[in-house]
Chains A and B, each alone.
Chain A
Amino acid sequence: MSGAATSLSRRAARGPADRLARPVFLCCAVLSAATLVAVAGVLGVETARFFGTVSPGRFLTETDWTPFAEEPRFGVLPLLAATAQIAVGAAVFAVPAGLMTAVYMEHYAGVRAKRALAGITTMLAAVPTVILGYVALAFVTPVLLRTLWPGTEAFNALSACLAVGLMIVPTVIAFTRSALQSVPTALMEAGLALGAGRGRVVVRVLVPAAFPGIVAAAFLAMARAAGETMIVTLAAGNQAQLAWSPLEGLRTLTAYIAQSSMGDAPAGTVQYGAFFAVSAILLAVTWGLRATGRRLMSRRDSGGVR
């Protein structure tokens, strides 16, 4: 042992796996980072090229979206408004439903009911959205809505809102439950100790204390709703119009991207560029909603509740 006592360098004796591991893992990390660069790069370059032809001002303010007309118009407003209508409409159903389900799970349900609801929301979150779109088109509109309002169009915003709302309910429930869980139990117990009924404490103490978290949940859910494609494509249809009745059809940013077969537009044309500009707007909308939600959530975590 004494002879080798001074030699502490045995790097050469390490196996090939040891020497290869670091560069291989590095390649994986670089490749992953490359997807980010690719998304940002492709969208950025093509969008910039599009705005070389169409001015951003007109893009954002005009109200006609007819890219393939003889005199093409690129006013994204109808698409943007439709996306907002769907996101808000879905939230109108999903946020109260999700909040009440979360309250029930946290403060009323027995073990079995809680477990059953947890299982159902997990499964619901895993259902591909195209299936929800199918149900909206083949069941919600013809069976449910037509019974109530016979004049309902085959493609309409309401059935899309219902289906998208169902899709985002698990998101609302998950975030709302964690918001409710972060309310100190002492607060709840103090209310109960003062003789208030459980329901009163829930409405007066619990929900107000968890409110920032609930709003955050609503924003995160709306971000998902704005990015949802298949339900709105199937159920809300493809009319790029500023629709005022929920029983009429409309066309969102996502539906435009998915439905207008991009193969029709040769690379380099304005029409081709329009897809990237629409994608960029969509990305900005979803990121804005997500960032707002995250912000609210971190404010809650960093001591909004004392």
Chain B
Amino acid sequence: MSAPSAARAEVPVLAADRLTVRFGDRTALADVTLAVPRGRVVSVIGPSGGGKTTLLRAFNRMNELVPGAATTGTLRFNGVDLHGEEVDPVEVRRRIGMVFQQATLFPRSIFDNVVFGPRARGHAGDLLELAEEVLVAAGLWSEVAEDLDRPAMQLSAGQRQRLCIARTLALKPEVLLLDEPTSALDPAATARIESLIHSLRRDHTIVLATHGRRQAARLSDFTAYLAGGELIEYGPTEALFTNPRDRRTESYLTGRIA
């Protein structure tokens, strides 16, 4: 199974093929086909309820935790079928990390939150060292270094979201799924998260759901426009923003920015 790295470069990190997700009678995602190239930032834009969150949650098999959810089509991670017989969803989630719109922290200390993932998988190494590493990467270390034992709930909204990113980084994931990570934050905190995303792109493939069109333009290499559960358009960010091929994309981009 271990393909030579030269060939690996051709294989997209994540690939959805005719992906459809239903919750009971409601179709949240219809027939979506798209590939996420390695080491790039892909943003997913579109109106609320258009399927952005469902797409992200499909990539790390979170949808199946919702009663009544049904997924058809295929999803591949480095060429491996994510719904294959042998695949453990728990392992999938450890390799494809996710940060939610709402920063839900565990009612424990900052440290316990950061090392939650490594502990869950039975991490053997030095947890403190790991915690420092990922908190530095998340740009939070200087603010919390002295009080790792403080309850995490005491942090500000922006700090909480960075803590969520740090605890996801502690999994050492290849892919980061960021679901509107700045929608609940003020402009200053948003700016910090954006520069953080910018620095994380060096080591990670990132899928960013956002309804900030300018955020998508600033941060991503590729952009997908999702509406009504359908993938309307997908392409290089610059091309999509300057010269959309689809009328619907155009009206979405112009209608609100103007």
Chain A residues engaging chain B, CB cutoff 8 angstroms: 1-3, 5-11, 13-15
Contacts and interface: CB of A to CB of B under 8 A. Distances in A.
B2 to A, nearest CB: 6
A6 B88 contact: no
Interface stretch (B65-73, B76-84, B108-116, B246-254): B76-84
Given A6-B1, A6-B2, A9-B86, A1 B91 contact: no
Contact of B5 (A2, A6, A9, A14): A2
Contact of B95 (A8, A11, A14): A8
Interface string B77-111: 11110101011101110010000000000000000
Contacts of B5: 2
B88 A8 contact: yes
Given A1-B172, A1-B174, A8 B2 contact: no
Contacts of A7: 1
Q: Is the interface of B mostly helix, strand, loop or mixed?
A: loop
Given A1-B172, A1-B174, A6 B79 contact: yes
Interface of B: 1-3, 5, 8, 77-80, 82, 84, 86-88, 90-92, 95, 122, 172, 174
A6 B80 contact: yes
A9 B174 contact: no
Nearest to B13: A5
A10 B86 CA distance: 9
A10 B78 contact: no
Given A2-B5, A3-B2, A5-B78, A10 B91 contact: yes
Contacts, number: 36
Contacts of B82: 8
A6 B8 CA distance: 11
Nearest to B77: A8
A3 B78 CA distance: 12
A6 B3 CA distance: 9
Given A10-B90, A14-B90, 11 more contacts: A2-B8, A3-B2, A6-B1, A6-B78, A8-B77, A8-B87, A8-B88, A8-B91, A9-B91, A10-B91, A15-B122
Question: Which 8 A-B residue pairs are closest in the complex by CB-CB distance?
Answer: A9-B86, A6-B1, A8-B87, A10-B91, A8-B91, A11-B88, A5-B78, A6-B80
A10 B93 CA distance: 12
B12 to A, nearest CB: 13
Contacts of A10: 88, 90-91
Given A2-B5, A3-B2, A8 B172 contact: no
25 contacts: A2-B5, A2-B8, A3-B2, A5-B95, A5-B174, A6-B1, A6-B3, A6-B78, A6-B79, A7-B1, A8-B77, A8-B82, A8-B84, A8-B86, A8-B87, A8-B88, A8-B95, A9-B86, A9-B87, A9-B91, A10-B90, A10-B91, A11-B88, A13-B122, A15-B122
A11 B5 CA distance: 26
A6 B2 CA distance: 7
A69 B87 CA distance: 72
Given A1-B172, A1-B174, A2-B5, A9 B88 contact: yes
Contacts of A8: 77, 80, 82, 84, 86-88, 91-92, 95
Contacts of B91: 8-10
Contacts of B122: 13, 15
Contacts of A13: 122
Contacts of A3: 2
Contacts of B92: 8
A182 B1 CA distance: 64
A11 B88 CA distance: 6
A63 B180 CA distance: 75
B60 to A, nearest CB: 11
Contacts of B86: 8-9
A23 B80 CA distance: 30
Contacts of A14: 90
A221 to B, nearest CB: 36
A82 B90 CA distance: 61
B256 to A, nearest CB: 39
Contacts of A6: 1-3, 78-80
A13 to B, nearest CB: 8
A2 to B, nearest CB: 7
B142 to A, nearest CB: 28
B37 to A, nearest CB: 15
Nearest to A12: B88
A7 B90 CA distance: 12
B192 to A, nearest CB: 27
A13 B79 CA distance: 23
Contacts of B2: 3, 6
Contacts of B95: 5, 8
